[in-house]
Amino acid sequence: MNPNIPEKCNGCGKPLFLENLFVDDGCPCNTPRGINFKPFRCTLCKEDVCVKPAHRLTELFGSHVLGTIK
């Protein structure tokens, strides 16, 4: 378990899987954006309301887990 990632979608209740890291809120259900992750200004996709878990891996898992990307 990771305290930064909900176990289940707060919209539909289904489990969140790694395969959905690039899907909004980590779940393919059709709930409002931001249901599982707080929207933020993303430097990857240039959106003000990005909720894709893969775009915030350092925040979710910490830099000590991911290592340094060069």
| Other Cβ atoms within 10 Å of 10 Cβ, number | 15
Residue 6 within any structural domain of the chain: no
Residue 4 within any structural domain of the chain: no
Number of domains in the chain: 1
pLDDT of residue 1: 77
Residue 3 within any structural domain of the chain: no
pLDDT of residue 52: 96
Per-residue pLDDT of the chain (70 residues; tens, 9 = 90+): 788 889 999 999 999 998 999 999 999 999 999 999 999 999 999 989 999 999 998 888 876 655 555 4
Residue 31 within any structural domain of the chain: yes
Answer for the pair 11, 25: CB distance below 8 angstroms, yes or no: yes
Domain span at residue 57? 18-66
Whole-prediction pTM: 0.79
Residue 39 within any structural domain of the chain: yes
Residue 51 within any structural domain of the chain: yes
pLDDT of residue 47: 86
